[in-house]
Amino acid sequence: MLGRSSAIAVSTLALLVATAGGAAARSCDEGAVSSSPASTVAVAAAVGDRSPGAAQRSQPQQRRFWVSDRNYYRSDWYAGKHRKMIAYGCTRAPYYAPDPRCQKGRGFHHGIDIAMPCGTRLFAGLRGTVVRPTSPGALGSAYGADAFRLRNSRMQKDFVIGHVRKVFVQPGDRVARGTLIARASDAGAPDGCHLHFEVRPAAQGYQAAVAPTDDIGLRRVG
């Protein structure tokens, strides 16, 4: 039977686990939401809730770069030059459920994250129509409540613009290349303001996402 102090410790642990689980659910794409590794988080928290890992999870706004690439890049999709934060594909970032495509229990990131100051201007890098939010391939809350998709009908691709708060376009709008469409934020993001850019075949879900390399068109600068 647990004594009073043990009971308090257990309830604290439960709170930590709930908090950590929430952080996982807020990560960049639905992959993290559908199968959040709550048991893994619970084990990690039980091992020592004062470990550096636990401290990182309890500071959801802390920005972390999960790539070794320290170069800065420009793109037609955003203003300024910025660094990659999480690449497309298997990642060391802890927000994602283990994925069978990845080694060492790592998760799969369905887009690319570019770290940038909150409020950075985001542009349409290609022409497209703003997709109605509830149509097939609808985005979950992990992308932030105001995230949206831009569809290029010629390419038959949807471009997901994640973690925005200010949006300057509406569903159904036809948007020309170069149009200001939104500003970057940390809405729904556990790790600070960034653009989550994801490319999918039109009207498909995150599982169908493809490498965004060509479409984001990063240009390395000094």
Please report, as residue ranges, which positions from 11 to 40 form the binding site for Zn ion (by CB under 5 A): 28
User: Measured from the CB of residue 199, what is the shortest distance to Zn ion in angstroms?
Assistant: 12
User: Measured from the CB of residue 111, what is the shortest distance to Zn ion in angstroms?
Assistant: 5
| 59-to-15, 19, 20 alpha-carbon distances in Å | 14, 10, 10
User: Measured from the CB of residue 198, what is the shortest distance to Zn ion in angstroms?
Assistant: 7
The answer to whether 17 and 41 are in contact (CB under 8 A) is yes
Residue 158, interface with Zn ion (CB under 5 A)? no
Exposed/middle/buried for 180, CB within 10 Å: 0-12, 13-18, 19+?
middle
User: What are the residue ranges of helices labelled H in the chain?
Assistant: 4-25, 30-34, 38-47, 52-57, 213-216
Contacts with Zn ion: how many residues (CB under 5 A)? 4
Residue 189, interface with Zn ion (CB under 5 A)? no
Stretch that binds Zn ion, among 33-41, 62-70, 99-107, 111-119 (CB under 5 A): 111-119
Per-residue DSSP letter, 200: E
Task: Out of 196, 199, 206, 218, point to the residue binding Zn ion (CB under 5 A).
Answer: 196
Name the residue nearer to Zn ion (CB basis): 101 or 177: 101
Closest CA to 111 of 134, 85, 129: 85
Q: Under the rule (CB under 5 A), what is the footprint of Zn ion?
A: 28, 111, 113, 196
